[in-house]
């Protein structure tokens, strides 16, 4: 790549006025270390043959495992995390001819990509390891042989969920399990992460039943709370290794805001397509990320119009053969450009690219850095460009680049204590092995015994001398889904074929009549929803628009758990009972409104977690005296705060709900509430409560720096507001937030 290309883009009249920030990184030299004790002879031979040296973090991971510690690796993309765990695992397997390892990945594509790597290395170091994939695509004819002979098994959480109940078929494997790898661990967040945490406890309990106490290795992108998160996810303390010894090439990072100059606005996709054409035209192999399958196809078509060569798309839903063909084509340089969803965000080997363009902020800095790391995976100069959408987070980072480059990474939040999620996994655990009261506390926490008692009273568990056993009629693994909280399940069906199951609350948000629904990378139109029959009908359709349901939430009750005073407000966290209604949905095309359509859905009431903060009547009087609308100011802060929460907590704004009022029930005080949009909670607002002041300052900056006059989708408008974004008072919100920031530091703990 020409080193001057970044300068060329920055000085081109077509682009220069939209570039809001340029960040240059000179890269870093490799940091090596000598293994102590020395590597096993077979590993030493493998390393020498390829003229390799181990990076410092790879040696640190090996040392920790050698000393019997669990490990959390949070080094950047392309830093050699795979070798960090494969080398000590293969050393262990070479020392003990019976030792086994389980490697867990979030996607089938990544699993099969990693199988190639593991097989290549294991063949030379431990020829008897026999790495194999065991998942839903594994032929039945191969399964018994894999169970009986493979020493390295690669799988995913959904498969693990089901095979645990058949653990007696896996006695050899569980009895000799020495290592467990959890790759892309940061992806296990929110409700899915809460399920993962309980699934891992079930797995470790089964292994312990066969006498195994394996070491756990987690590989993750950079996150803000690696140690506490790993502890919550696995129930074990870990050694965190975050300093990378891998070399990094120089990188230019541009922030590009097509919405910056009102008279010269392009859409995000138009701008990204233009930049991709420019990069490809200058000989750069370029990967452009979009945040949706339809967006990927649209952008590829836009770019192709100006190119002689085809610009393919890469997404979920492709057949494995087609995926591998695209991956190989990229690696061999047959494609100068490709457009992808987040499917290429994970560590599938596609070689070294010159440039990455992101058409819209991917929701977290964590994901943005993973995508950016796809370019410059050697020491060559790389270019990354973030093209902003109108979303508040995009615009916040355009105006506050230091918050993107310099702030600590987002925290990952999970809540394995969620009673609705925990109850399902206790049923599974009791079906796997009798569950004693002591085991409940050790493996599943102090509240597990109480929930077990309740399940016994309901007749789905039965007490025996050995412990509680499952006595329900259906297999618990068929009842417990790893993406929900255990609520009523609806089946989404297309032409008589089951696509997936979905909880009622999620269905009202994502699969209501008229909704555009994505499944396995394909677009479906929801034609009907029958809660009594438990069936949602969908039909396959190529649609160029999107739907967004609007939601109104009202707290029926609130029970405080913790209270503090901060920034002149009383801040509370606790359990709430929320009633949500979904009065209508909006249709948008390429981000622009098309129509508003009514919905006729029943209200939903559910228990969850929330934080809320109250103001004094004097605060509202100050706003009124200045000519502002207090209700509009509170409402605007509610919207903007929810929009900014993903900057502190790994989540999506769709995971959250909000409520604001001038007169809260019971207290009569002006109040803003933010709640987890999942029954029982997902740990999101619990984490947000601890980072409240930081989020308020970011919310103030978002609103005060937005160039609009009265509010827009980039600051205080919400795409899912149930009251049509009325009332809103941007200036009043800015004033109230500034007053809060002026009082920062006046914190007294109440309870």
Q: Specify if 575 maps to a domain.
A: yes
In a domain, 482, yes or no: no
Residue 618: the pLDDT is 95
Tell me: do 584 and 723 sit in the same domain: yes
Mean pLDDT of 241-267: 85
pLDDT mean over 711-719: 92
Alpha helices in 97-218 (DSSP H): 108-125, 140-149, 157-163, 171-175, 190-209
Q: Which contacts of 115-119 are long-range, i.e. CB under 8 A and separated by 24 or more positions?
A: 115/154, 116/349, 117/82, 117/86, 117/349, 118/86, 118/152, 118/154
Q: What's the CA gap between 35 and 509, in Å, rounded?
A: 53
pLDDT at 261: 59
- pLDDT computed for residue 95 by the predictor: 95
**For the chain, what's the residue count?**
751
Do 615 and 535 lie in a common domain? no
Say which DSSP state 580 is in.
E
DSSP of 439-460, one letter per residue?
HHHHHH-TTHHHHHHHHHHTTS
* Stronger pLDDT, 77 or 452, i.e. the higher one: 452
Q: Outline where 292-447 has alpha helix (H).
A: 293-304, 320-331, 365-372, 392-399, 401-405, 419-432, 437-444
- 557 in the same domain as 445: no
- Rounded to the nearest integer, the mean pLDDT of the chain is 91
**Pair of tokens at residue 626:** 């200045």
Residue for token digits 């609520």?
A: 487
* Mean pLDDT, residues 667-688: 94
Same domain, 235 and 371: no
Q: Name the phi and psi angles at 474, rounded to 5.
A: -100, 155
Give residue 751's pLDDT.
Answer: 37
Tens-digit pLDDT profile for residues 631-654: 999 999 999 999 999 999 988 888
**Residues 325 and 224 both lie in one domain:** no
Question: pLDDT higher for 322 or 710?
Answer: 710
Percent of the chain with pLDDT over 90: 73
Is 551 within 8 Å of 722 (Cβ atoms)? yes
Total number of domains in the chain: 5
Q: Which of 131-145, 495-509, 590-604, 712-726 has the highest mean pLDDT?
A: 131-145
CA-to-CA distance for 428 and 371, rounded, in angstroms? 37
**Angstrom distance (rounded) from CA 584 to CA 601:** 9
Q: Which two tokens stand for residue 624?
A: 């009124």
Q: Which range, of 11-20, 28-37, 545-554, averages the lowest pLDDT?
A: 545-554
Best CA proximity match to 392, nearest among 697, 618, 712:
712
Can you give the CATH number for the domain in which 335 is found?
3.40.50.300
* pLDDT value of position 591: 66
pLDDT of residue 305: 66
Assign 523 to helix, strand or coil: strand
Distance in angstroms (rounded) separating the CA atoms of residues 537 and 533: 11
pLDDT at 539 over 60: yes
191's CB contacts (< 8 A; 6+ apart) are 418, 421, 483, 484, 485, 678, 682
Dist CA 265 CA 257 (whole Å): 9
Does 711 score more than 80 pLDDT? yes
Q: Are residues 216 and 174 in the same domain?
A: yes
The enclosing H or E element of 387 equals strand 382-387
Torsion sign, CA atoms 230, 234, 238, 242: negative
446 shares a domain with 393: no
Which tens digits make up the pLDDT trace of 136-180? 889 999 999 999 999 999 999 999 999 999 999 999 999 999 999
Torsion-angle region of residue 28: left (phi > 0), alpha (psi -120 to 50) or beta? beta
How high is the pLDDT of residue 525?
96
| Whole-number pLDDT of residue 465 | 96
- pTM value? 0.89
Q: Is residue 571 part of a domain?
A: yes
Q: Which segment of 299-313, 390-404, 509-523, 545-559 scores lowest on mean pLDDT?
A: 299-313
Share above pLDDT 70 across residues of the chain, in percent, rounded to a whole number: 95
Give residue 284's domain range: 5-27+248-405
Residue 414 maps to a domain:
no
**Residue 430 domain-assigned (yes or no):** yes
Same domain, 663 and 729: yes
**What pLDDT score does 745 carry?**
66
User: Is 533 part of any domain?
Assistant: yes
**Helix 419-432 vs helix 448-457: angle between axes, to the nearest 10 degrees?**
70
Instruction: Say if residue 320 is in the same domain as residue 346.
Output: yes
Do 530 and 514 share a structural domain?
A: yes
Q: Is the pLDDT of residue 487 over 80?
A: no
Whole-number pLDDT of residue 746: 56
Task: Considering only residues 19 and 509, tell me which one the structure prediction assigns the higher pLDDT.
Answer: 19
Q: Are residues 233 and 252 in the same domain?
A: no
Shared domain check, 163 and 73:
yes
Classify burial at 557, counting beta carbons within 10 Å of its beta carbon; exposed 0-12, middle 13-18, buried 19 or more.
exposed
Name the domain boundary from 187, 213, 241.
Answer: 241
3-class SS at 370?
helix
DSSP 745: T
Token readout for 384 is 């990354």
- Sign of the torsion formed by the C-alpha atoms of 224, 226, 228 and 233: positive
The reply to whether 410 falls in a domain is no
Least confident range of 219-228, 341-350, 388-397, 569-578:
341-350
Q: How confident is the model at residue 317 (pLDDT cuts 50, 70, 90)?
A: low
Q: Which of 286, 432, 267, 282 lies closest to 372 in space, CA to CA?
A: 286
Q: Which of 548-557, 616-625, 702-711, 738-747 is predicted with the least confidence, judged by mean pLDDT?
A: 738-747
Question: What does the DSSP 8-state code read for residue 680?
Answer: T
CATH number assigned to the domain comprising residue 626: 3.30.1360
User: Residue 171: helix, strand or coil by DSSP?
Assistant: helix
- Residue 203's closest CA among 248, 234, 224? 234
Residue 665 lies in a domain: yes
Q: Which of 380, 405, 430 lies at the terminal end of a domain, its last residue?
A: 405
Whether the Cβ atoms of residue 157 and residue 136 lie closer than 8 Å to each other: no
**Contact, 94 vs 126, CB < 8 A?**
yes
Residue 748 has pLDDT above 50, yes or no: no
562-611 pLDDT tens trace: 999 999 999 999 999 999 999 999 998 866 789 999 999 999 999 999 99
């Amino acid at each position: 790549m020409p080193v001057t290309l970044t300068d060329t883009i920055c000085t081109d009249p077509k682009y220069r006025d939209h570039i809001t920030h340029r960040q240059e990184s000179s890269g870093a030299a490799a940091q090596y270390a000598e293994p102590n004790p020395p590597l096993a002879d077979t590993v030493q031979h493998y390393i020498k043959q390829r003229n390799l040296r181990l990076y410092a973090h790879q040696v640190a991971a090996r040392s920790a495992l050698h000393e019997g510690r669990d490990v959390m690796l949070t080094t950047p993309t392309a830093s050699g995390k795979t070798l960090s765990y494969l080398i000590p695992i293969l050393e262990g397997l070479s020392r003990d001819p019976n030792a086994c390892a389980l490697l867990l990945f979030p996607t089938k594509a990544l699993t099969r990509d990693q199988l190639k790597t593991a097989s290549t290395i294991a063949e030379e170091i431990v020829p008897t390891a026999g790495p194999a994939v065991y998942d839903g695509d594994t032929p039945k004819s191969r399964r018994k042989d894999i169970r009986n002979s493979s020493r390295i098994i690669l799988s995913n959480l959904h498969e693990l969920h089901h095979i645990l109940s058949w653990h007696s078929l896996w006695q050899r494997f569980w009895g000799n399990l020495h290592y467990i790898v959890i790759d892309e661990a940061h992806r296990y967040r929110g409700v899915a992460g809460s399920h993962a945490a309980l699934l891992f406890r079930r797995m470790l309990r089964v292994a312990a039943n066969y006498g195994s106490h394996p070491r756990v290795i987690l590989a993750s992108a950079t996150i803000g709370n690696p140690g506490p998160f790993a502890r919550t996810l696995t129930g074990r303390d870990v050694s965190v290794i975050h300093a990378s010894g891998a070399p990094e090439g120089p990188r230019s990072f541009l922030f590009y805001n097509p919405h910056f100059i009102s008279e010269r606005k392009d859409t995000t996709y138009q701008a990204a397509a233009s930049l991709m054409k420019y990069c490809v035209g200058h000989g750069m192999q370029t990967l452009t990320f979009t945040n949706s399958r339809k967006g990927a196809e649209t952008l590829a078509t836009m770019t192709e119009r100006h190119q002689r060569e085809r610009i393919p798309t890469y997404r979920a839903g492709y057949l494995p053969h087609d995926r591998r063909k695209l991956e190989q084509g990229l690696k061999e340089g047959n494609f100068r450009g490709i457009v992808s969803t987040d499917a290429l965000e994970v560590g599938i080997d596609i070689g070294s690219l010159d440039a990455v363009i992101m058409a819209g902020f991917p929701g977290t800095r964590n994901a943005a850095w993973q995508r950016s790391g796809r370019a410059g995976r050697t020491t060559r100069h790389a270019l990354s460009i973030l093209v902003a959408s109108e979303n508040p987070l995009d615009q916040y980072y355009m105006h506050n680049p230091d918050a993107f480059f310099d702030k600590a990474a987002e925290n990952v939040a999970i809540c394995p204590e969620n009673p609705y999620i925990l109850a399902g996994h206790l049923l599974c655990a009791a079906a796997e092995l009798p569950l004693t009261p002591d085991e409940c506390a050790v493996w599943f926490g102090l509240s597990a015994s109480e929930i077990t008692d309740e399940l016994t009273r309901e007749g789905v568990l039965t007490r025996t001398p050995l412990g509680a056993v499952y006595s329900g009629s259906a297999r618990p693994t068929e009842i417990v889904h790893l993406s929900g909280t255990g609520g009523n399940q609806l089946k989404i069906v297309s032409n008589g074929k089951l696509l997936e199951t979905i909880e009622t609350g999620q269905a009202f948000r994502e699969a209501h009549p008229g909704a555009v629904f994505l499944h396995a990378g394909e677009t479906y139109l929801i034609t009907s929803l029958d809660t009594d029959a438990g069936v949602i009908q969908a039909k396959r359709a190529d649609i160029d628009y999107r739907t967004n349901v609007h939601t109104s939430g009202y707290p029926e009750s609130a029970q405080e758990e913790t209270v503090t005073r901060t920034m002149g407000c009383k801040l509370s966290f606790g359990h709430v009972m929320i009633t949500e209604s979904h009065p209508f949905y909006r249709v948008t095309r390429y981000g622009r409104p098309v129509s508003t359509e009514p919905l006729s859905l029943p209200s939903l009431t559910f228990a969850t977690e929330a934080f809320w903060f109250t103001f004094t009547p004097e605060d509202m009087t100050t706003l009124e005296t200045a000519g502002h609308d207090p209700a509009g100011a509170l409402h605007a802060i509610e919207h903007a705060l929810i929009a900014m929460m993903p900057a502190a907590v790994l989540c999506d704004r769709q995971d959250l709900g909000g409520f604001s009022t001038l007169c809260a029930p019971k207290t009569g005080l002006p109040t803003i509430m933010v709640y987890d949009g999942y029954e029982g909670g997902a740990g999101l607002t619990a984490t947000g409560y601890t980072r409240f002041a930081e989020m308020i300052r970011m919310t103030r900056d978002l609103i005060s720096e937005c160039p609009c006059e009265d509010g827009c989708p980039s600051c205080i408008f919400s795409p899912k507001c149930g009251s049509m974004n009325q009332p809103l008072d941007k200036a009043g919100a800015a004033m109230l937030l500034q007053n809060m920031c002026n009082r920062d530091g006046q914190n007294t703990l109440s309870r």
